[in-house]
Each structure stands twice: as C-alpha cells, then as structure tokens.
Structure 1
Amino acid sequence: MNTTNESATAGTRPAPTVWPTLQARDANALIDFLVDTVGFLRTAVYADGDQVAHAQLDWPEGGGVMLGTHQPGSDWSREPGTAGIYVVTDDPDGLHARLRAAGVEMVRDVADQEYGNRELSIRDPEGNLWSFGYYRGEPRQCA
C-alpha cells in the first residue's frame, strides 16, 4: 500500500472544521488536478495501485477535502461528479487567472456578487463544481 502522510511528520493537526468527502472514478487523477492545478496540498494518500482508500487534501488557507475511489454499494458510497463545494480564498482573482491559464473548465468567471462576495466557479475532471471566493460567512449570533 502506497502511503503519504506529511501531517504526521510535521506533528500538527488541523483545527476542527467541516471536511467534504468525495468519491471519484479516477481518484489519482482528481488528486493530481486538485493539487497540481488548483493548489490543494497533498497531506495523506493511502492507495493500493489505482485504488485510493483515503486521501486528505488541505487547502492552504484552511480546511480541506477527503476523497477516495468510488466503491458502489458501500455504506459511504456517493456518486462521483455530483458535489458542489465552496472554498474560501483571499485571492479569487489570482486563482482565476492561474486556473484559466491552466485550461480549467470555468463555470463562472470571477465576478462580484450582489451579496458582497467575489467568486469564480470551475468544474473538475469528475464533474464536481467548485466555487472560490473571499466570503467567510456571517458572524454567528449567540442565542
């Protein structure tokens, strides 16, 4: 089994947060796309050949995603290519320029939104939709 676990050697664990999970028909290709093209960090990949049991990809600005090879019929089976994920970035314009130069399929070019965000949307090779912008959510009101 091929294992990469860079966070274990660094000795730091990420802060608790929400981690979307994806399944992919070609998990290795999706990992390469998200790391080499989009800018995620390959933190852990547990694979046996072309079958990825688990991968953790960290977003440099916080949070991340987990993914693995699609296994129809398993308890945690999700159809590849059906996710929509929002990722916070302080530089949507720079990311847009880099992704466009790499030939990534743009769903929506970077633009200001009426609710105050500046964001862009892409489609990954599996068909998942990714939106990137600087909106971090509304302040939580304590009840």
Structure 2
Amino acid sequence: MSTAGRTAHVIPAVRYRDVDAAILWLKKALGFTEHAVYRNEGGVIIHAELLLGSGMVMLGSVGENREAADWYKQPAEIGNAVTASTYLVVPDCAPVYASAKAAGAEILMELKAMDYGGGSFTVRDPEGQIWSVGEYDPWAAHTA
C-alpha cells in the first residue's frame, strides 16, 4: 500500500454493547491489532483503538457516555440497518475473507472482482456493524 508514513486524519468510531467481544472478533475476523484500551473503574471499556496497517478505528461502549447516549442507535434497534460502514484496504482479500468466514461473519457480499479494481467483500459483525474489505486503494489509484 502507498499509505506508509501517513497519519489518518479521519478515524471511524463505532459503538458496541460488548466492546471486549467486538475487539476479539475484529482481531480474529479482520486482522486488527490493539493499539490502546481504556477502562472505567468498573472494568468497562470506555475507549479502544484498533489498528489495521496505517489505519485506525476507535470503539466505545454503548451508553457509557451519558451525554451522547441518545445520539446513536445500534443496528439491532433499527431493523439491523446502519447509516455508515467502514472500508478496510488490504493487499490480498482472500486470507481476510477466509478469516471472516471462519469467525462466523455474516457475508453480505461474497468476495468478487470489482470493476474499479481489486477484489472486495462485505460482512456484518456480531453486533450488526458492516465492514467492507477490498484491495482497491484509493490513495494509490489517484497518485499514479
């Protein structure tokens, strides 16, 4: 990938009811690694940061931030729909697709070649969030 040395200035943030389980699933299914995990006095994760290559996603627990509790709805609360998803750029989709299937991901779009380049697939995680994975790197596509 051509993102070496870049600092992400846009970082998706996703809320989960069980952040511990989400972290384990995202690591196993999609290849994330832990960067930081912060817990409150009761041991509940209030903020976590996961890395994939030079990208990051932040996770938070549903309802822990009382001020923002009404700003978000979980997919299960709204017919399993989402209003945003996250796209992950990987050098090869096949092993990530195999890991996601092995982790029990609901496959929304099977692995296939895309018209704009590279392979791609889309999964729903155990709490209903949608993750697309693809070999298409928009940074590289527009710098050539």
Shorter chain as denominator, the TM-score bin is 0.7 to 0.9
Please report how far the alpha carbon of residue 73 of structure 1 lies from its aligned counterpart in structure 2 after TM superposition: 5.1
CA contact (8 A) 2:88 2:133 kept: yes
CA distance in 1, matches of 2:13, 2:97: 24
**Aligned residue number for residue 29 of structure 2:** 37
CA contact (8 A) 2:118 2:135 kept: yes
Alignment of 1:16 onto 2:23:
no
TM-score by length of 2: 0.77
CA distance in 2, matches of 1:125, 1:97: 16
**Distance of aligned partners of 1:78 and 1:102 in 2 relative to their CA distance in 1, 3 Å threshold:** same
CA distance in 1, matches of 2:102, 2:27: 16
TM-score by length of 1: 0.77
Q: Which runs of 4+ in 1 moved over 3 A?
A: none
Could you tell me the percent identity over the aligned residues? 33
**Aligned residue number for residue 125 of structure 1:** 126
**Aligned residue number for residue 19 of structure 2:** 27
CA deviation profile, 1:46-96 (whole Å, cap 9, x unmatched): 11345221100001x220100110127524743234341100000101111
Q: Any stretches of 5+ residues in structure 2 without a counterpart? A: 76-81
Please give the root-mean-square deviation of Cα atoms over the aligned residues, in Å.
Answer: 2.3
**Aligned residue number for residue 74 of structure 2:** 80
Alignment of 1:95 onto 2:65:
no
CA distance in 2, matches of 1:37, 1:98: 5
CA contact (8 A) 1:23 1:69 kept: yes
CA contact (8 A) 1:22 1:80 kept: no
**Distance of aligned partners of 1:73 and 1:47 in 2 relative to their CA distance in 1, 3 Å threshold:** closer
CA distance in 2, matches of 1:114, 1:96: 19
Instruction: Give the length in aligned residue pairs.
Output: 127
